[in-house]
């Protein structure tokens, strides 16, 4: 079984895990290693099975615990070369495996594809992970706008973790200075609830069973608002799966991704 764990998501920290066969792949480590360990225990995730840590970009809300976690678990960091250049001084003992941008790498039970995204970081990526059991999980957050490459990467996913950062009206009335508002709403910033709903309605297909909304702004969004904007778009596109909304302060999961597709196909 492929299982998804949302250890937490928001501007204060992001961390996810995918378990398949007897291996676990971590995606981002935006909390302290101690906090990630605490949350893993809460959801029954065995960190001793982690085989690698994928990092989407170097911002602190995605990498705070990465160096310590990689060291204590004895696992490599998989990220884009440009991101590694920024991180290397902070993690001199970590082992680096480059992600193939617009390509894929096999890492144990996981095949990891990456594509560039529009965000104000060195070489940020969205990723798609195909497990040895045939499940595809697409992960895209911290993106100012969805590009053709992102749409292509996320197509035919069985589970999607997608940013729904802010409600556009709440951002405009948030009290943030205009420059900050422009950064968040701009092409190097974050995806709004409306943009997430539009992208999701394009990505719905009969095999999409799980959608997780991620990276909600604490100041300009809420679980209820994100759900209220996205759910009708999913229903209109004939989505028949489950919608989850990730939380900043508590983990979600385990979320099982259905029967083993590789076995069904054989």
State the residues that interact with Zn ion by CB under 5 A: 59, 61, 142
CB of 256 to Zn ion, least distance (A): 27
CB of 215 to Zn ion, least distance (A): 6
Spatial separation of the C-alpha atoms in residues 128 and 203, rounded to whole Å? 13
How many of the other CB atoms lie within 10 Å of CB of 35? Answer: 17
Is the CB of 204 or the CB of 212 nearer to Zn ion? Answer: 212
Is the CB of 19 or the CB of 161 nearer to Zn ion? Answer: 161
Is the CB of 56 or the CB of 210 nearer to Zn ion? Answer: 56
Is the CB of 154 or the CB of 214 nearer to Zn ion? Answer: 214
CB of 12 to Zn ion, least distance (A): 9
Are the C-beta atoms of 235 and 228 separated by less than 8 Å? no
CB of 58 to Zn ion, least distance (A): 8
Beta bridge partner(s), residue 127: 114, 139
Q: Quickly tell me which residue has 């970590």 as its tokens.
A: 94
Is the CB of 23 or the CB of 248 nearer to Zn ion? Answer: 248
Are the C-beta atoms of 216 and 164 separated by less than 8 Å? yes
Spatial separation of the C-alpha atoms in residues 189 and 181, rounded to whole Å? 9
CB of 11 to Zn ion, least distance (A): 6
Is the CB of 57 or the CB of 107 nearer to Zn ion? Answer: 57
CB of 30 to Zn ion, least distance (A): 7
Write down how long the chain is: 266
Q: What is the dihedral of CA 252, 253, 258, 262, to 10 degrees?
A: 110
3-state secondary structure (DSSP) of residue 236:
helix
- Which residue of the chain is nearest Zn ion when measured via CB? 59
The CB-side HSE value for 203 (13 A sphere, CA atoms) comes to: 34
């Amino acid at each position: 079984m492929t299982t998804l764990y949302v250890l937490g998501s928001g501007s204060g920290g992001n961390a996810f895990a995918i378990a398949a066969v007897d291996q676990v792949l971590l995606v981002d480590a935006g909390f302290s290693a101690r906090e990630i360990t605490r949350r893993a225990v809460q959801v029954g995730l065995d960190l001793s099975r982690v085989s690698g840590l994928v990092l989407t970009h170097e911002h602190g809300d995605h990498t705070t615990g990465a160096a310590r976690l990689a060291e204590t678990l004895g696992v490599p960091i998989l990220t884009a070369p440009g991101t590694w250049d920024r991180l290397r001084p902070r993690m001199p003992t970590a082992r680096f495996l480059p992600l193939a941008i617009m390509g894929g790498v096999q890492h144990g039970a996981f095949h990891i594809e990456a594509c560039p995204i529009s965000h104000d970081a060195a070489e940020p990526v969205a990723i798609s992970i195909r497990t040895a059991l045939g499940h595809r999980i697409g992960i895209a957050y911290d993106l100012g706008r969805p590009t053709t490459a992102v749409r292509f990467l996320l197509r035919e996913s069985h589970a999607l973790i997608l940013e729904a950062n802010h409600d556009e009206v709440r951002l405009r009335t948030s009290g943030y200075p205009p420059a900050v508002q422009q950064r968040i709403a701009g092409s190097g910033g974050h995806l709004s609830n409306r943009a997430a709903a539009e992208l999701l309605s394009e990505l719905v297909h009969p095999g999409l069973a799980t959608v997780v909304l991620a990276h909600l702004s604490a100041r300009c969004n809420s679980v209820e608002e994100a759900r209220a904007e996205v759910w009708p778009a999913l229903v209109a596109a004939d989505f028949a799966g489950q919608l989850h909304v990730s939380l900043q302060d508590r983990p979600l999961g385990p979320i099982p991704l259905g029967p083993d597709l590789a076995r069904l196909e054989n």
